[in-house]
A and B are shown apart, each in its own frame.
Chain A
Amino acid sequence: MPETFSRNRAGFGFLRDCFFLAVLLLLSVGPIISILALSFDVSARGEPYQFGFDAWARLFEDAKSLDAAWTSLLLTIRVPLGLAIALVMAWLLVRVQVPGAALFETVFWFAYFLPLLPMVTSWNLLLDGPQGVLNQVIHAFGGPRAFFDMNSYGGIIWAHMTIQTVPILVILILPTMRLIDRSFEDAANLSGAHPLKTLRRVILPLALPAALVGAVASFLKALESFEVEQILGVQARIDVFSTRIYSFITEQPPMLSEAMALSSLFLILLVALASVVHLVQRRLAVPTGAENETHRTVSSYSASSKRIGAFVVGGYLFLTVGLPLIMLAMGSFMKLFGFFDLSQPWTVRHWETVLGSGDVQRSMLSTLGLGLSTAFLATLLFAAIAWTIMHLPERIRGVMAVATWLPWAFPSVVLGAGILQLSLMPGLSVMHGTIVPLILAMMIKEIPIGVHLLNVSMGQTHRETLEAAQLTKASPATIFRRIVLPLNLPALILVFMLVFAATIRDVGTLILIAPPDLQTLSILIFKYASLGEFEAASVLGTLLAILCVLVSLVTHYVATMNRRLR
């Protein structure tokens, strides 16, 4: 479609395209340039910029930083593991259509919305050392005293996989799974292939493009995450790329140049991976079924296969989402977090304290307000950027596609520090202390996934529809508003929810720039947890989880209604 469908690029339309491309470059390439520039700043604090290589020299002499970078790469092993699980889950939900698939899908959304810190704390209660509840159960049955250890490489990988990697991969793979032509699968099943063989030989190859893109996205996100490593890594002395950068930023005085230099190292890897994603997208296309066919066709898998599938998905979700959530809720009612053996371990005191706190009320309002406003603005902007990119000449489109991935070249803590520096600069300082830097930061952070998903979705819009609209002399803006946006509503909703989720659970990006009126629940949880106030953090985590349930249900409802209407 993009090759043949063209718009009138003269006049105002051309200017508008230039504007959106400039915005994209500003948001994606701008921070990279700032960070590179800061990595070469050798001036003392408060003095004018001075160019030099000191930070880079120190970085290459610093064995800890280089070790940390390697450890980060090692921990990305969770991505292929998570991808394998996600592919099976998505297949069971969409192709096998296990009983309760819609509910399970909502739970995956819900899992992705959940805040990291309280969930990690819950996993600690379950699996950490001799006092871990599951470890005690294993020990009671004759197993070792501490079978699992959360403060380890395995613990970090497990926490990430369950809270982040698998849910987001399932969410990203599901739409592509839905588009796969049912006839391929029916043919395999009618030929007597076992369901697992159908998965391996038919579904996986067809879902590979989306899976690879999702995997690369997860890989990049895996490198930049820091909260989990910050909690679980210290005791096991596991330092990763992002925690090292966090250390530089929070040194007294902050070692910003060193932090930026270390971040820049990652840029090379990111550009290479982003190029791979672009090539994969261009060369591999999913053979899709007719628009309405896929959802209406009855699954050709047997009832017993479906029951087994439901058991697998349900079991997995109970183990990875249900159990820690139960622990989180229990923790919020405990006098001392994790101490079940007190004579009277339960109390509602923490709930009374937290719910009666004006700070928490403000936080809840801030979380909703910031999440919704950021998601709304970001979705519109990303749609406009994706639409603009689609109509560029092939070569420029490739460059732009790679550019959209650049914001993931640095961890969120660096992005936050960079935005703070930017908002303190003369001329821009008027936005400091307002909501603007927060929205800007989250937009930058979510550009890669948002623009990419909308690009893929818009690429599937039927060319004839757009050409017909063009023949009626509709302006590009009208086509965009009346045809492109409605036809891509599912993707827009997906992006909206992903940005919303990212905003309400973010800590690293916002923590340095959130003004007093805009302290989100996640930030508050992080601060309570960092002071060891786990009971209060559990209450806030449970509140956020309830908020996430509501949002997940709304998402599910809107998505279902949309599918029915289509």
Chain B
Amino acid sequence: MFSCIQIVKKFAAGLAIACLPSFALASDWPVNSSPEFEALLEAAKEEGRVIVMGNPNLGDDIAAAFEEDTGLKFQLIPAGRREGPARFQQETAADNASFDIYLHGPANADLRDAGKYLSLGDHLFLPEVTEGSNWRGGALAYVDNTRLYNPVPSRYVAGRILVDSRQVDPSSITNWTDLLRDDLRGKIIAHDPNFPGAGQTLATFLTAKLGAKFVKDLYVGQDVALTGDMRQTTDTIARGEYAVALAPIARHIVKYQAEGFDFIKVISLQDHPGYLVGGASAMTAPSSAPHPYAARVFANWFLSQRAQTIYSNLMSVPSDRVDVVEGAWPKFVEPVEGEDYLDTYAQDWWENDRKVFAAELRKALSE
């Protein structure tokens, strides 16, 4: 029902939030604290706020909860997929960051080696965060092997394919090589593998697992349509324009399925069922962060059950926390116990193997 009054009320409330300083009081969070964390929080209160650069969807829910729990103000610099990393790298390299925390993918190794990151791992003081049994695999995952700079609290399975079951029988596609069938030529859409992001991650993964020739046969030989639009893979399947989409974004699939598009089916290919990604959950703090204590408070908070529950629901992805068990994410992004996934957020892959395969991929696609 169209309710103008409701909209006006929300607008007025939002305007008040935008114009007035935060007077929120801290809630009962954390359930179990520690003296170190309390000292950190006290120091952070002197700084007053934390500035996070990350996905635009994180805004209000995270802000409200963080401000309520810590009494610190939360500000978001909404970061796009491509210019966000550029800004992060330029400001961090110049020791003049305008943000405290960057929530994105794995951070650059050269900046880490140059001492440009604030250590977070040794400033995690909340028992619920440091307790290994709270995390899948027995410990919080990090991109860096030093386990100091780049924690990743949410890893999920990507690299599935989406099928329009009206056009193609999902059970007829069981392996990646099935996508090379003649009847699928011109009917596949994928994210552009030429740019960093979902498209490049999938193509690099396929290069590693099946070789550059397969990737070329698939992308070029099958005349795969490429898009730079995150939603178009799912959107075009829902419209029936394409029969198969490679590595669609889970959040969009959830949205379309909720509106009754039950003919769009996610399938996992048996030979290589996907890989783990951390999405926008990997945290990095530049050493020049304007509010370093607040940055570490945010790190503790973001890794807690309360924050991970909010994050998982907002982004439709599961958390690595074992106590975040139900939410708005689809089953197909949950890692299956015992399955051997390639972890694309692990340092060895990110800093070494990925680069080798990405070079092979570039060469194959440009020939």
Binding site for B on A (CB under 8 A): 44-46, 129-131, 230-231, 234-235, 237, 246-247, 249-254, 335-336, 338-339, 342-343, 348, 351-352, 355-362, 365, 417, 420-421, 423-425, 429, 432-433, 511-512, 514-517, 519, 523-524, 526-528, 530-534
Known: A129-B241, A231-B228, A250-B86. A357 touches B78 (CB 8 A): no
CB distance A342 to B196 under 8 Å? no
A226 CB, nearest partner CB in chain B, Å: 11
Q: How many residues of B contact A (CB 8 A)?
A: 67
A358-B63, A516-B98 are known contacts. Are A251 and B196 too (CB-CB below 8 A)?
A: yes
Closest to A233 in B: B228
The residue of chain B having its C-beta at the shortest distance from the C-beta of A363 within the complex is: B18
> Which of A254, A365, A432, A527 meets B96, CB within 8 Å?
A432
Instruction: Among A130, A234, A249, A512, find the residue whose CB has the most chain B CB atoms closer than 10 A.
Output: A234
Q: Decide yes or no whether B130 CB sits under 8 A from chain A.
A: no
Q: Is B56 an interface residue (CB 8 A)?
A: yes
Contact with B196, one of A234, A252, A531 (Cβ below 8 angstroms): A252
Task: Decide yes or no whether B147 CB sits under 8 A from chain A.
Answer: no
Q: Are B229 and A532 in contact (CB under 8 A)?
A: yes
CA distance A360 to B17 in the complex (A): 10
- Residues 73 to 95 of chain B near chain A (Cβ within 8 Å): 75-83, 85-87, 89-91, 93-94
**Which of A254, A355, A360, A534 is the one whose CB lies under 8 Å from B90?**
A254
Q: A530 and B17: CB pair below 8 A?
A: no
A35 to chain B, nearest CB (A): 15
C-alpha gap A432/B15 in the complex (Å): 27
The residues of A that contact B17 with a CB separation of less than 8 Å are: 358, 361
Interface on B for A, CB 8 Å cutoff? 2-3, 6-7, 10-11, 13-15, 17-19, 51, 55-57, 59-60, 63, 75-83, 85-87, 89-91, 93-94, 96, 98-99, 108, 110-111, 114, 116, 192, 194-196, 225-232, 235, 238-239, 241, 249, 252, 255-256, 259-260, 290
Cβ B75 vs Cβ A516 within 8 A: yes
Contact of B227 among A235, A351, A355, A423 (CB under 8 A): A235
| Residue of B whose beta carbon sits closest to that of A131 | B239
Chain A positions within 8 Å of B194 at CB level: 247
Minimum CB–CB distance for B329 against chain A, Å:
17
Say yes or no: A357-B59 contact (C-beta < 8 A), given A46-B114, A253-B89, A532-B230.
Answer: yes
Within the complex, which residue of A235, A250, A335, A433 is in contact with B225, where a contact is CB–CB below 8 Å? Answer: A235
Contact B195 A247 (CB under 8 A): yes
Q: Is the CB of B90 within 8 A of A335?
A: no
> A519's contact among B2, B78, B91, B260, by CB below 8 Å, is which?
B78
- A528 in contact with B18 given A234-B228, A348-B2, A351-B7 (CB within 8 Å): no
Query: Would A420 and B7 be within 8 Å (CB), given that A357-B14, A516-B98 are in contact?
Result: no
Question: Which one, B99, B108, B235, contacts A516 given CB within 8 A?
Answer: B99
Lowest 3 CB-CB distances: which A-B pairs, in order?
A532-B231, A361-B18, A424-B94
Residues of B within 8 A of A514 (CB): 77
How long is the Cα–Cα vector from A246 to B79 in the complex, in angstroms?
A: 15
Q: Can you name 20 extra interface pairs (CB under 8 A) apart from A355-B14, A516-B98? A: A45-B89, A129-B241, A235-B228, A237-B226, A246-B82, A253-B89, A355-B7, A359-B76, A361-B14, A361-B19, A420-B87, A516-B51, A516-B77, A524-B78, A527-B79, A530-B82, A531-B57, A531-B231, A532-B235, A532-B252
